[in-house]
Each structure stands twice: as structure tokens, then as C-alpha cells.
Structure 1
Amino acid sequence: MLRSSPAAEPPNRPLTRVEAANHALFRLAFGPQPRQLSEVARTGWKQWVEQQLHPETLDDAELEARLGRDCPSLGLSLSELQRLAKGEERARARIKDELRFAVLLRAVYSQRQFQEVIVEFWRNHFNVDVNKVPFLATHYEEHVLRKHAFGTFADLLMASAKHPAMLIYLDNYVSHRNGVNENYARELMELHTLGVDNGYAQADVEALARVLTGWTCGWHGAEGGSEEYGFYFNEDAHDTLPATVVGLPLEGGGLSDGEKAIQHLAHHDGTARFVSTKLCRYLVSDSPPDALIERVSEVFRSTNGDLRETYRAIILSPEFASSRSFRAKVKTPFEFTVSVLRATAAEIKSAEQLFRELQLMGQPIYECTEPTGYSDLQEAWLDPGVMVYRWNLAIKLVRNEIEGVSCGSGFVEPVLHSSPAERAKKVMELLLPGARDRNLERSLSLIADPRVMTAYALGSPGFQQQ
């Protein structure tokens, strides 16, 4: 069982050098690749973290070249995506498939692992469902989430608010002064900034919804010029009456009022605490200490929502590199799948069956219908009926029964070529580096078939944790 024991917790302590490297690679990356732990432990995990906090300095040329070949729609503008969407069915389906494939390939192969981990956080915080915005989510991923993940929260929030994917997903594109739609205004406060019941009332939701009337998207452009698809402000649809949004008076001045309201929410103390709490839950533990949240909130406020500095404050905190946060979270299905693929040095030629496996596990990429996004808390993923699909995935992978995917030679050869007496130790070293689970190692030593042994280790409670 993965649930924590009711027994008294052992005293909290700092992590050893090897434990800290292990912790960083499982929490700030989607798990280590074979033999990566020893390298990070040798150079020091904080040096690795500093590199990861500046992803632009890490060479991902090989991955980018593959994405250019396999996922060409990633580089298209909104207008180009919309024109492609009007074409044949195969072209329309390709846009969605390439987005999901790109998300998976980046998570598995990118050298910029923390970027992929943190983009997954924002992908759920600012969730959109690709089935409602099938030809817009690709641009949203590239130009909102990935572009602003290391910038300021205010810029990320504004980019999200003005992107057609969000405008359509939460129905603001049809919000009109004669028919105000409150969906986006409510989620903007409840999910994106302040948090539920945190310093605002229904009157604030209604006022914000009126302020955001006319924020829409579509084909637009100067008369006689070429039209472009994207965000625009429809003055005729805008409610021009004065409004007050969470204490901010607005005169009814048009587009600028909506921008002022969003900036006000981005810099609100309630937003600092709400976003900091979510980030601490994601990176440290499901129940992060209040003292950590307070310190991180202060960094968020004092840096005007500088996300890189906020991440750094969490990662370099004593609470992060402590025994209580070590292996304290349970992997989501996406995190589990990617960590399995990384640990086994998997070679991915196509991913359709992997997408089906994620569907069975309850986390299809970009298909969360609820605006909350997928949860990263363990209680959401411990249903035994769902866990069985994780074990099935492990068995299929080691048997090379997943179409388009195979275990890499960097993993298979050390396991197959080790002696039966050493094989269990080798599997532990490759899949659970730094772990001290003697019971699991003994259980593995009783299994003769190296592939079954590997699947057993991948399905073990220890591998579900990070």
C-alpha cells in the first residue's frame, strides 16, 4: 500500500548527498535516466538545479530537430492552424496528435527536465481541453505556457486571458453586454488567482465578467488588409458601466479596464498565497508546512511574481531537501508513464498505444474536461482499480508489447548481461537508484525472468513514489 502508516513519523532531517540528488531527479525531473544519479550526486544537486532553472542554457537541439520532423504543427501561427483545421480530416486529427506527441517526447527526452515538470504544473493550473479547442491548444502550449513559465505570473496570466484557447474553453468569447457569461471571470478568481472563497464575493465575479465583455477572438484585421486569427477587443460587445473588482474601482473605459483588473488580481496578496501554496504542494509535499508557504508567498510578492525566483525559493528551502519530503508524493499516471520510459531508456517511434494507456489510467494528455485540471495529490490516484493499469503498462513495456515503443539497450543490456545473483541489485540500481528497500530486493531475487523482475520493480510501491 502507498498510504502512509499511522505510526509516529521519524525525526525530520536533511537529506544526504545521494538522497538529495535522488530527490531532485524524481521531483524536479520525470525521474533519472540510467546512471544519471551518480553524475548529479558527484557534481552536486544544487548545481544541477541552477542549470535547470535556466533551461535556455541547456542544449536540446537533438530533441528540437525531432519535433521539427514529427510535430511540424508546433511552429504554426494561430491563423495557419485555423486554415489547416479547415482542410481534410486527417490534417485536423494530426494537429491534436502532434501536440500530445510533443508533450510526451519533451517529458521523456528533454535535457530541460524542470521546464517540462513545471509546464505540466501550469498546464493543469491554466487547463484547457483539447477536445473543445482542438486547433488552438498547440499554440496555447507554445506561446502561453512554455513562453512564460519562467517569466512573471502577471505575464503568464495575461497571455492566458487573451488566448483564444482560454477564451473559447471558458466561454468568454461569447460574453456580451446584453448576455454576460460569468464562466471565465469565476474561474479566473477561483482557479487562476485568488482561490475559492478567498477575499471575493459573487458581486466581484459579476463585476469582473462585465469588465471582460468584448474580450473575444476570431478573424480580424484592418479594412482592405489581410485578416489574422486571434484575440481582439469588440467594443460594441463591451459593458461600459463603472465596476469595482476586489476593491479596484474601474471607470468602464474599455480594454484597459480588463487589463487593469487582471493585473490587480495577479499582484493581490491572496494570489501570492494561493499560487505559492499550489507550487509548494506540487514540488514539496501534499501538505506543505505553513512556514514554507509564508516565505514563498513573500518571495512571490517582493519579486512581483517572478516565477523563477519563486521556484528557487521552494527548491532551495530546507523543507524541500528534507526526509519528510523525500518520496512523499505519489506519481500521477503521466508522471509514472514518463518515469518508466526514462528509467528503461525507452525508444519511442509512435505513441498511440501510450495515449490509450494514459486514457485507461485516467490522465489523457490535454483532455481534462474540468477547468481544475488534473490533481497532483495522491488521493486522486490511489484507486486499486486504476493502479492495475500501471502494472499492466510495466509488463507490456518490458515485454516490448507496446506498439512503437521498446526498452533501450542502455537499460536492457546491463540487466540481461548481469549474473542471476547480481540481477536484482542491478534492477534496483537502474530503476530505484539510492533506494534502500531490502524487502523489495529480496523479492526481486526470487524472480528468475529478468523481464518479469523489471516489471515487478516498476509496479512496486517504491516506484510509484517520488
Structure 2
Amino acid sequence: SIDKIRVVGLAGAFEFEAIRPHVLGKFGDMLQVVKQHPAMLLYLDQAESVGPDSLLGQRAAMRLGANGRKVGLNENLAREILELHTLGVRSGYNQADVTEFARALTGWTVGGLGPRMAQATPGYTFAALLHEPGTRTIVGKSYAQGGEAQGRAILADLAVHPATARHIATKLARHFAADDPPPALVARLEHAFLASGGDLPTVYRALIEAPEPWQQDFAKFRTPWDWTVAALRATGAPAPQPQIVTGLLNQLGQQVWKPGAPAGYDDIAASWAGPDALVRRVEAANRIAERVGPIDARQLGETLFPASLSTPTRTAIARAESPAQALALLLVSPEMLRR
């Protein structure tokens, strides 16, 4: 999130360098790259995590670091990996696992930060003088590897852990099928994840071939991002300037790269379907309708929803006082607000 000033210039690079190139590969490969990206290391303060018994930790014990803060272990990255990115909450890990994992990740930092790293090449680097020595035990398994290899080995195992498979399957089922994920779909995706070793295209195929995502129309309330993209595509609007899109998303409450928390934005109706949020959608729909010019909303509605446009929506469009109002009404109809 660009809430942290140090990440403002890196959030876009993070998406295009760490996420997008790996969405059609192995989950484990994405996980490794994501955790070593400077945006992640800076956002969760991993770049300044120092092992208490590392060379630097011993030298700096009970003294202030060069940046005016006591050096020491930071557990943010380890905690978020376990809670948000792999195993998920209530999956069997505990605080001791978080601390041990944080120790294993010491040394994962960003070159060019502070006096002690000023000569390093900018970007991810492993600094051995920050690394906590010793064997680590995470979720019942011991890791005796030294240095950077220790953290990488832990990530590799977490990426294919059964709890991770269940967590990822649940998130996908919630996003594509229903706010309350169908258990059968979760189980199917979980099996595909485990059987393929976390191969994401295999999981996607299982999702597409499953009946649950196709059984109920309009089960998911569109997030502001989904709705904005759908509205612009539906109306054939010319590609808008970036500031127009960011302005719309700011108005709708889903600022680009600024969710405000490590968990990111929710994709459930309860987060986006409140009265104030709906008023903002109406205002945004009016802006889009005025921008694209005259469009026959009745014809567009039948084209977009040939078998599912409801009678109330047809009636509302027909009673509109102008073509722009008719289009705006279509854009905030139940059919457009949901998918």
C-alpha cells in the first residue's frame, strides 16, 4: 500500500514485476519473488530487521542504530506471510512459528538503505551480517540451512502446504463464485492445487470447469475497480486518461494501490454495497454517461444481458428523462452492479 511513503514509487513496479509475470506459473515461484521485492520488504519493515545474535545485532546490542531506532527483529513480514499469503488464520501455526520465521528471514533487505548498505546495488540483497544464525523450526519442521537458503526453503514448503492450498482455494472461490464460498468448490480447487504442486493454471482450469461459478447469475457484487472497468467497456468509452480512472476509483473508495492494510481490499458485498457507496456509484455512473455521449441504453441493456435483463431495469430505463440518465440507470442496475 502506498500509505507508506517509502513504497509510493514502488507499488506499480511490484504489481508488474512480482505479480503479473507469475499468475500463470507456480504459486511458489510467485511467493519467492514477491517476498524479495523491495516494495514488500520496505512496506513491512523487513529491510531493517536484524537478528539479535547476528554480527550486527551483537555489535549494536542496547545501542541506537544509525537511523535513530534500536535495531532488532521485525516480525511483520513473517506474520503476514503466514496469515495472509500462505497458511491463513487458524491453520495451526502459533506465535513461536512467527518469531522463528522472522529470524530465518533476517538478512533479506534492500541495497542502498542507510550507511551500512550504502555501497550495495539497489534492489533486493541478502546481508549476511544481519542474519540470525542457527536452525529454525517452523510448523513442526526444522530448517538447518544457512543464510538466505533458510528463508527460501521455508517459503518453498509453505507454498505447497495443505493449509495454503485450502486458503488459496477459499479466496478464489469467494472471488469468483460467492461471498460464502461453496465447500465443494473449495475442496475441488484445493485438490487441484495440491495435486499440481501449486500450479496456478491447473487451479484456474478446475475453477472454470466447476459448476458452482456458473450456477447463479449476479452472485458477486462488483468492487469499484470491477465496476469501473465493466462500465467503461460496456459503453465503449475511449481509453480515459489515468487521472480520470484514479479519480473515479478515489470517489468510489478503492484508491489505486492504497488499500490501507496488508490484507488489501475486500471483495464481498458487505464492504461495497452500503448506502453511501451506492450513492457514489450513481454519481460515477452519471459522470460516465455524460462523458460517452448518446447511447441507446435499452439496446445496450439487451446486448449486455440478453437473457437476464429484469423488467424493473427495463422499466427504469424506459422512463428516463434523457439518454444520459437512461445509461446511468443501466450502469447502476442490479445487473451491472453484480456479476
When normalised by structure 1's length, the TM-score is 0.65
CA gap 1:128/1:311 in 2 versus in 1, 3 angstroms: farther
- Report Cα offsets for 1:339-359 as digits up to 9, x if no partner: 111101111341323312211
The alignment status of 1:251 with 2:124, answered yes or no, reads no
Residue 155 of structure 1 is matched in structure 2 by 29
Residue 290 of structure 1 is matched in structure 2 by 183
- 2:123 is paired with a residue of what secondary structure? strand
CA gap 1:140/1:254 in 2 versus in 1, 3 angstroms: same
The alignment status of 1:146 with 2:20, answered yes or no, reads yes
**In the TM superposition, what is the alpha-carbon distance from 1:128 to its structure 2 partner?**
6.8
Residue 82 of structure 1 is matched in structure 2 by none
CA distance in 2, matches of 1:129, 1:264: 31
Residue 174 of structure 2 is matched in structure 1 by 281
CA distance in 2, matches of 1:351, 1:429: 30
Letter in 1 for 2:203: T
Task: Mark the runs of 5 or more structure 2 residues left unpaired by the alignment.
Answer: 53-71, 114-118
1:283 and 1:315 in contact (8 A); partners too: no
- 1:216 is paired with a residue of what secondary structure? strand
- Report Cα offsets for 1:230-275 as digits up to 9, x if no partner: 1111100000022101112022511111001111111111000001
Residue 31 of structure 1 is matched in structure 2 by none
- 2:122 is paired with a residue of what secondary structure? strand
Residue 345 of structure 1 is matched in structure 2 by 236
2:111 and 2:120 in contact (8 A); partners too: no
Task: Mark the runs of 5 or more structure 1 residues left unpaired by the alignment.
Answer: 1-126, 221-225, 401-405, 416-422
The alignment status of 1:135 with 2:9, answered yes or no, reads yes
When normalised by structure 2's length, the TM-score is 0.88
Residue 163 of structure 2 is matched in structure 1 by 270
- Report Cα offsets for 1:19-42 as digits up to 9, x if no partner: xxxxxxxxxxxxxxxxxxxxxxxx
CA gap 1:349/1:442 in 2 versus in 1, 3 angstroms: closer
**In the TM superposition, what is the alpha-carbon distance from 1:432 to its structure 2 partner?**
3.6
CA gap 1:146/1:130 in 2 versus in 1, 3 angstroms: farther
The alignment status of 1:358 with 2:249, answered yes or no, reads yes
1:214 and 1:236 in contact (8 A); partners too: yes
Residue 391 of structure 1 is matched in structure 2 by 282
Letter in 2 for 1:141: E
Letter in 1 for 2:21: K
The alignment status of 1:440 with 2:333, answered yes or no, reads no
1:280 and 1:293 in contact (8 A); partners too: yes
2:86 and 2:163 in contact (8 A); partners too: yes
CA distance in 2, matches of 1:219, 1:208: 25
1:130 and 1:137 in contact (8 A); partners too: no
Runs of 4 or more, structure 1, over 6 Å off, are none
Residue 309 of structure 1 is matched in structure 2 by 202
- Report Cα offsets for 1:86-143 as digits up to 9, x if no partner: xxxxxxxxxxxxxxxxxxxxxxxxxxxxxxxxxxxxxxxxx67574412222321122
Letter in 1 for 2:46: N
CA distance in 2, matches of 1:232, 1:439: 59
CA distance in 2, matches of 1:319, 1:430: 25
1:213 and 1:237 in contact (8 A); partners too: yes
Letter in 2 for 1:183: N
- 1:434 is paired with a residue of what secondary structure? coil
Residue 63 of structure 2 is matched in structure 1 by none
- 1:228 is paired with a residue of what secondary structure? coil
2:301 and 2:309 in contact (8 A); partners too: no
Bigger relative contact order (CA 8 A; separation at least 6): 1
**In the TM superposition, what is the alpha-carbon distance from 1:366 to its structure 2 partner?**
0.6
CA distance in 2, matches of 1:208, 1:444: 57
Match 1:299 to one of 174, 177, 192: 192
Match 2:81 to one of 188, 194, 199: 188
The alignment covers a number of residue pairs equal to: 315
1:154 and 1:266 in contact (8 A); partners too: yes
Letter in 2 for 1:236: L
Q: How does 1:81-230 map onto structure 2 within 5 Å?
A: 131-178=5-52, 179-219=72-112, 228-230=121-123
Match 1:452 to one of 312, 325, 328: 325
- 1:186 is paired with a residue of what secondary structure? helix
- Report Cα offsets for 1:151-178 as digits up to 9, x if no partner: 0000010000111110111111100013
**In the TM superposition, what is the alpha-carbon distance from 1:336 to its structure 2 partner?**
0.9
